[in-house]
Structure 1
Amino acid sequence: MGLYYEFFAGGGMARAGLGPGWSCLFANDIDPKKASTYAQNWGAENLKVEDVSNLKSSDLPGTADLAWASFPCQDLSLAGSGAGLSGKRSGTFWPFWNLITDLSKEGRAPPIIVLENVRGALTSHDGKDFTAIGSKISHTGYRFGALVIDAVHFVPQSRPRLFIVAIDENYPIPNQLTEHRPQEITFYKTLRKAFTRLPSDVAGKWVWWKLPLPSGRNTLLSDIIEDEPKAVEWNSFEYTQKILSLMSPINLEKVEKAKRARSRRIGTIYKRTRPDGKGGKIQRAEIRFDDIAGCLRTPAGGSSRQTIMVVEDGMIRTRLLSPREAARLMGLPDDYQLPCKYNDAYHLAGDGVVVPVVRHLSEQILESLLAVVMSNQEEAA
């Protein structure tokens, strides 16, 4: 069984994805609300609620095989502040890596490391932030590579995320885990460009990971939408008309097409600020009817919360996505305990990592790397 540390743990979605083949030695998050949910679902025995910058290597028990870190994305996101790794939130990568460096000096650094973030981390500050991350990883003695995996292959949510997988350079990498060029399904051009920006000494530590995709997703958005949701109510007729009034002719035509269909149609709506054609800005409601939800976000404002529209027999109803529906879009089971307050539950989901994506990454790459690590350790003993 592999042992791991889980940093920026949130509600423990990485833990849910890694599964029973891994055992958590230590989990950390700064947010007491998320930590409370983590404790509800996984127990608090190995959980420390603290700013990562206040942690010391002495806080980390034993020797882990894996360190998982889904560090904050807000400053690296295309919709964020643009502060990048200099930002207060995404900049928490640095104290996290300082812990890895300290563990390395003590001879107990995890041989496998996974960093998870938005794909904007590849292009932030013209790629300088990604280069800085890669330089830290390689100079600490790891080989590494990156994958961009869209959760839409696993759940009905469009959610591309960056996964950087690193392994101690002293361990061999099985040939079946690598290839000579990035896969088309992992955002080839973006990854290739990020790679070409790396200094030669860092690029020399690069690995093109091979990750086969699952045969096909068998869940649609309509499968997870509740007729009688908890924690949310259906909007009034007047409010639904207000949403429709924010739509462009193209989006209104999508609604009309759904009304003409003979089957029940479910769409998802985000409010966005768009140019008004007169040099100003206007708020628009944009809808999709492809049975896939837009990427969940943290509910910083009303525009960040996803609205669903149900069109049936010519009638239109709208409401916010419910917390349980949001959790299902993250691949969490229905027995997963969510916070009682709407915003807390939605924030937990929108800030997490999709469980089946973690499971797939573990099955296809991490468990094979773990087998190499454990075999080498046994031979050394």
Structure 2
Amino acid sequence: MAGGVIRAAEFFAGIGLVRTALEPLGVQVVWANDIKQAKFNAYRANYPDADKHFKVVDIRKVDAADLPPRIDLATSSFPCIDLSLAGNRLGLDGTQSGMFFEFARILEGMRQRPSVVLLENVHGFATSHGGKDIERAFVKLSELDYSLDVLAIDAKHFVPQSRPRMFIVGISKDKLPKSSHIGVPAPSDVRPPWVTALHKRHSSTCDMHYLDLPPLPEGPKDLNGVVDHDVPADAWWDAGRVDAFVGSLSPVQRSRFEALRDQDIISYRSAYRRTRQGVSMWELRRDAIAGCLRTTGGGSSKQALVELGMRREPRIRWMTPNEYARLMGADSYRLVAGTPNQQLFGFGDAVVVDVVRWIGQHYLIPVLASDKAGEG
């Protein structure tokens, strides 16, 4: 590391929540990119130095020479749409998720590659094209002299949102810390059986390692700490719209709705639209946390907040950008740029701050600190 500072490049930076997660741990983002101007605007509203290092550009137009020297850590939240089970499943052959190879191209061209890389994507990456896509990614990263580890973390361990994501950690083969292990890790909360199967399946063709990690925290069980109580009165839906919501519920959903309404306490549930047998209908989550936030674009992408209890008339409204921010662990994020829909889109397309900070604290920073000690 240069002068004891961890210098990072944030690929597919979005609104900058990787930076939000890692900066308190001593990481300095010295280069970032995204193709969306609206995301840059949100990033700059929170990080005024963005004009110096954030490039609004298609990654296909970025060359390794465009990056500053001495990058210690490169992070990549490349697009998930072609890998998601809710997407088109084109995998790494898709025009968006295929941007992984552009990230790899830039790494390959760097005179001095980062000691550590962190990639984030959906679980569907592991099964895309019968597992061939993740194999292609593993092989490419191994060719770039990285040893690989895989983590699977659901954000519900940190925030009241179910958001399962997988993370690939690559460490330069000559920088593996002494605390790393070679072989197949035992199943754990961060490496469930499907992750250990990846280690076993690919250990013969790629360099694989793992580090011991502490158990994940328990996580909140309801939305009470998320709800925005300062919304305008007209944000709540009128009686006709509430009746239409209730009328779309299935018998099972209606029973759940009425049980919550008749409780002696006020509780909150997230709700989302689903198409069942060609019919659009609303569904309440069975538990008291939010479903996975998504980019706004129709269908089930936007979540509603339902207030029930005390035998009162139910109240329903769309979730606010402030609530999305809290669900992403970005409570202090300044929402001063863009329209509400752009803000919802930015959070739906981002990483959860607490998850990345946990990985930074327990994995990335210790590895980079070990590297620094080795240089000394």
Q: TM-score range by the shorter chain?
A: over 0.9
Taking structure 1 as reference, are residues 199 and 181 closer, same or farther at Cα in structure 2, changes over 3 Å only?
A: closer
After superposition, the C-alpha distances for 1:138-157 in whole angstroms (9 at most, x for unaligned) are 11111011101000000000
Q: Which residue of 2 aligns with 1:235?
A: 237
Native 8 Å contact 2:274 2:299 kept in 1: no
| 1:90-129 aligned within 5 A | 90-103=97-110, 106=111, 108-129=112-133
Q: Which letter maps to 2:367? A: L
Segments of 4+ moved more than 4 angstroms = 176-180
Taking structure 1 as reference, are residues 241 and 26 closer, same or farther at Cα in structure 2, changes over 3 Å only?
A: same
Q: Which residue of 1 aligns with 2:158?
A: 154
Taking structure 1 as reference, are residues 152 and 200 closer, same or farther at Cα in structure 2, changes over 3 Å only?
A: same
Report how far residue 231 of structure 1 moved.
11
| 1:308-327 aligned within 5 A | 308-314=305-311, 315-327=313-325
| 1:189-208 aligned within 5 A | 189-198=193-202, 200-202=204-206, 205-208=207-210
Question: Residue 269 of structure 2 is aligned with which of 267, 270, 294?
Answer: 267
Taking structure 1 as reference, are residues 178 and 224 closer, same or farther at Cα in structure 2, changes over 3 Å only?
A: farther
> 3-state SS of the aligned residue for 2:156?
helix
After superposition, the C-alpha distances for 1:112-159 in whole angstroms (9 at most, x for unaligned) are 000001111111111111101100111111101110100000000000
Report how far residue 239 of structure 1 moved.
0.8
Native 8 Å contact 2:189 2:216 kept in 1: no
Report how far residue 174 of structure 1 moved.
3.4
Worse-matched range after superposition: 259-268 or 230-239: 230-239
Q: Which letter maps to 2:259? A: K
Native 8 Å contact 2:177 2:371 kept in 1: no
Report how far residue 46 of structure 1 moved.
1.0
Report how far residue 340 of structure 1 moved.
3.8
Q: Which letter maps to 1:47? A: F
| 1:333-344 aligned within 5 A | 333-344=331-342
After superposition, the C-alpha distances for 1:311-361 in whole angstroms (9 at most, x for unaligned) are 132221111110110011000023523534121000000000000111100
Native 8 Å contact 1:230 1:322 kept in 2: no
Is 1:37 matched with 2:42?
Answer: yes
Taking structure 1 as reference, are residues 209 and 230 closer, same or farther at Cα in structure 2, changes over 3 Å only?
A: farther
Is 1:22 matched with 2:15?
Answer: no
Partner Cα distance (2:198, 2:276) in 1: 29
Partner Cα distance (2:327, 2:80) in 1: 19
Q: Which residue of 2 aligns with 1:222?
A: 224
Question: Residue 59 of structure 2 is aligned with which of 52, 59, 71?
Answer: 52
What runs of 5+ residues in structure 2 fail to find an aligned partner? none
> 3-state SS of the aligned residue for 2:176?
coil
After superposition, the C-alpha distances for 1:172-218 in whole angstroms (9 at most, x for unaligned) are 3232678852433236232234334437221xx11234332344335
Q: Which letter maps to 1:247? A: L
Is 1:297 matched with 2:294?
Answer: yes
The percentage of counterpart residues that share the same residue type is 34
Is 1:63 matched with 2:65?
Answer: no
Q: Which letter maps to 1:27? A: A
Native 8 Å contact 1:265 1:289 kept in 2: no
TM-score by length of 1: 0.92
> 3-state SS of the aligned residue for 1:40?
helix
Q: Which residue of 2 aligns with 1:347?
A: 345
After superposition, the C-alpha distances for 1:53-101 in whole angstroms (9 at most, x for unaligned) are 1001111001111000111111100000111111111111111110000
Taking structure 1 as reference, are residues 179 and 229 closer, same or farther at Cα in structure 2, changes over 3 Å only?
A: farther
> 3-state SS of the aligned residue for 2:202?
coil
What runs of 5+ residues in structure 1 fail to find an aligned partner? 276-280
Question: Residue 73 of structure 1 is aligned with which of 67, 70, 80?
Answer: 80
> 3-state SS of the aligned residue for 2:165?
strand
Taking structure 1 as reference, are residues 155 and 174 closer, same or farther at Cα in structure 2, changes over 3 Å only?
A: farther
Worse-matched range after superposition: 223-232 or 158-167: 223-232
Q: Which letter maps to 2:349? A: D
Partner Cα distance (2:232, 2:18) in 1: 26
Taking structure 1 as reference, are residues 271 and 218 closer, same or farther at Cα in structure 2, changes over 3 Å only?
A: closer
Partner Cα distance (2:333, 2:364) in 1: 27
Q: Which letter maps to 2:47? A: W
Native 8 Å contact 2:262 2:309 kept in 1: no
Q: Which residue of 2 aligns with 1:278?
A: none
